[in-house]
Chains A and B, each alone.
Chain A
């Protein structure tokens, strides 16, 4: 078993074809809060990952859950974060449209990812896998879906700023193809942004 990554909230170990994700204790958090967060997120992640796959979004298959540890299939690919700025325009658009379709499929089934950034998507071949559902939930409200999209939009602005507009347009195209409630969500997205501190009029 080899430590392959120290993420923000978990250590990732690789054992043959299996990823072992352990949400480790955070020294900065009080014990009660720390334990609640780790347990509930591990459980949620396992549940939502299966729901998402049933909704048609590629996700790793869960092998086992035990306390703060979840074991799942290793997806041998590359983080979309590292891919997106480097590929040609057509491929970039294809990737973002595909991400939009995935988001649409999730929202159609009231699945909120909770951390929809390009760090949490893996490109393998031409398929995009969604991972890291620990902050997710089942929620049918337009508000929750709007915030979910906002997280993605902001990750474009901070990390893929040169292609923010083309990526977002492609995402929305894919999203609206898959989810017929898209209009309400995009409208809400606008009002959530305006609610923020120092929202710039662009």
Chain B
């Protein structure tokens, strides 16, 4: 079976094509050029204008015709309403016009499943970090359970907002990472609540500090503080769950310093650490396609009425029948 997946939860629009044996045949991602934060309506507009081209490009890359697609999947949530709806409508159109089944997939679980697929991790504790999410997730009896998460904004959002408000530019992650290479440590608020975290106070303090401190020092300290918090709660979750594998997913996972810190922690606890390649680390269509295949092949069937979007679709709401 061949599945086409459409990802559209935020500023990225992705179309991926994956076969049942786990081969990624195409994975095309296009994103809206950003000059500020993401405007949901404008991002949705971008997706609507580009879906045809992205779809064509993905099919071309895979060497397939739309008639070869046997299942279509889309990102059902969590994400921005207008963006989610463009992905859902596109998927419904493909499903109806080609008479093929459709499934709505949870975006967070998509990240985890494509991570497992490409790295070979079997039952990992997952740190999922991106512009919109920061969660520590592990599987247990039929569901992905959230062991820790941010109580306010996501880590990626914290770094992006910092970069925007200090004039460093967009997207903030790679820029802050570059500046952080030559900084020195300044104390910033470090907020961990059990396995949960908070980044909003850190953002405010870093912005305040940036007014009269060296920007490289602030970038360095912001990264060190935010990532130490993430590694600490992940470490606590490793001890709590006793899992012996760790998987890093989400756009912020591309950051080398975060990877390095997690690797050091994993080594200390004798845990195998897995990092998927950058092409599947951030939002992409292949992860939706692969999760769609897993769901469909284990019996999930969605009628057209079931294909609504859910903006606050949590990973722990999904009944997992493929594991």
Is residue B160 contacting chain A, with contact meaning CB distance below 8 A? no
Residue of B nearest to A193 (CB): B151
For A37, give its contact among B133, B147, B190, B313 (CB under 8 Å). B190
Name the one of A33, A147, A161, A192 contacting B145, with C-beta atoms under 8 angstroms: A161
Task: Please tell me which one of the listed residues A29, A114, A196 contacts residue B152 in the complex, with CB atoms under 8 A apart.
Answer: A196
Secondary structure class of chain B's binding surface, majority of residues: mixed
Closest CB-CB distance, B302 to chain A, in whole Å? 19
Q: Which residues of B contact A155 (CB under 8 A)?
A: 194-195
Q: Are A157 and B78 in contact (CB under 8 A)?
A: no
Q: Interface size (B, Cβ < 8 Å)?
A: 47
B194 close to A116 (CB less than 8 A) = yes
Within 8 A of B (CB), among A188-202: 192, 195-201
Q: Which B residues, 113 to 162, have Cβ-Cβ distances below 8 Å to chain A? A: 132-134, 140-141, 143, 145-147, 149-154
In the assembled complex, the CB of A17 is this many whole angstroms from the nearest CB of chain B, namely 24
Contact with B232, one of A8, A148, A196 (Cβ below 8 angstroms): A8
Judge if B51 is at the interface, Cβ distance under 8 Å.
no
User: Are the C-beta atoms of B312 and A199 separated by less than 8 Å?
Assistant: yes
Q: How far is the CA of A114 from the CA of B311 in the complex (A)?
A: 30
**A196 and B149 contact, Cβ closer than 8 Å, known pairs A116-B194, A117-B194, A135-B192:** yes
Residue of B nearest to A5 (CB): B239
In the assembled complex, 30 residue pairs joining A and B whose CB atoms fall closer than 8 Å, in A order, are A9-B235, A9-B236, A26-B265, A27-B265, A28-B265, A29-B224, A29-B228, A29-B231, A29-B261, A33-B224, A33-B228, A81-B240, A115-B195, A117-B194, A135-B194, A148-B193, A150-B151, A154-B146, A154-B196, A157-B316, A158-B145, A158-B146, A161-B143, A195-B152, A196-B150, A197-B149, A197-B153, A198-B78, A198-B133, A198-B313
Q: Which residues of B approach A to under 8 Å, CB–CB? A: 78, 132-134, 140-141, 143, 145-147, 149-154, 185, 187, 190, 192-196, 224-225, 228, 231-232, 235-236, 238-240, 260-262, 264-265, 268-269, 311-314, 316-317
